[in-house]
Chains A and B, each alone.
Chain A
Amino acid sequence: AQSVTQLGSHVSVSEGALVLLRCNYSSSVPPYLFWYVQYPNQGLQLLLKYTTGATLVKGINGFEAEFKKSETSFHLTKPSAHMSDAAEYFCAVITSDSSYKLIFGSGTRLLVRP
């Protein structure tokens, strides 16, 4: 069975600082991995995804993530945090078989200090 674990339910950074949100996955088959963001009182929005190919993927709003098979990780980073990045971030996994459901992590709330 697939699963994702997000380390840290809350992460606080200063504006302009590096953002690092951690995600580790468990999957017996090659996974598809995703990061979604949820702003207050809104639904989720896809930030980026990894399926196959290049292990460093770039997403919207300056975010990127690197798939590391040896570490079973898919951490999300952004070089410089903006106040507008404050939101909850979810890592998710889906398998490349016939499953049509995303398995989400528990989420990490990012706080950006002025």
Chain B
Amino acid sequence: KAGVTQTPRYLIKTRGQQVTLSCSPISGHRSVSWYQQTPGQGLQFLFEYFSETQRNKGNFPGRFSGRQFSNSRSEMNVSTLELGDSALYLCASSLEARKPTGELFFGEGSRLTVL
């Protein structure tokens, strides 16, 4: 069974640009979550989607957005990039339906560097 796939794995952008990251969950998983990981702030929750609906959102500015498609694949977008957006962005999928279990399966992440 294939794991969670994130693309691209590495990317470099400049301030002011925008970026789109993609995540393909494990087959059969309908919940997709996104986390930002930085040395200073650690792991922070961005948002969670289930059946194309955002169910939870973290405390990030509106520049951070996401969506989920009917095949459960998800994308997140960051507009007007700032230096502080440099981070490892982790996608995780799970079987969560009505009750959260907390059992997440993570991809290897997309490492974004903003210059």
Spell out A's residues near B (CB within 8 Å).
32, 34, 36, 41-46, 49, 51, 90, 92, 94, 96, 98-107
Min Cβ gap B8→A in Å is 14
Spell out B's residues near A (CB within 8 Å).
4, 31, 33, 35, 42-43, 45, 48, 50, 55-56, 58, 90, 92, 96, 99-109
| Closest residue on chain A to residue B99 by CB atoms | A96
Q: Which residues of B contact A36 (CB under 8 A)?
A: 104, 106
- A56 to B58 Cα, complex, angstroms: 31
**Residue pair B108, A42 in contact (C-beta under 8 Å):** yes
**Residue pair B108, A41 in contact (C-beta under 8 Å):** yes
Of the residues B33, B42, B90, contact of A100 by C-beta under 8 Å: B33
Q: Which residues of B contact A106 (CB under 8 A)?
A: 42
**Residue pair A101, B33 in contact (C-beta under 8 Å):** yes
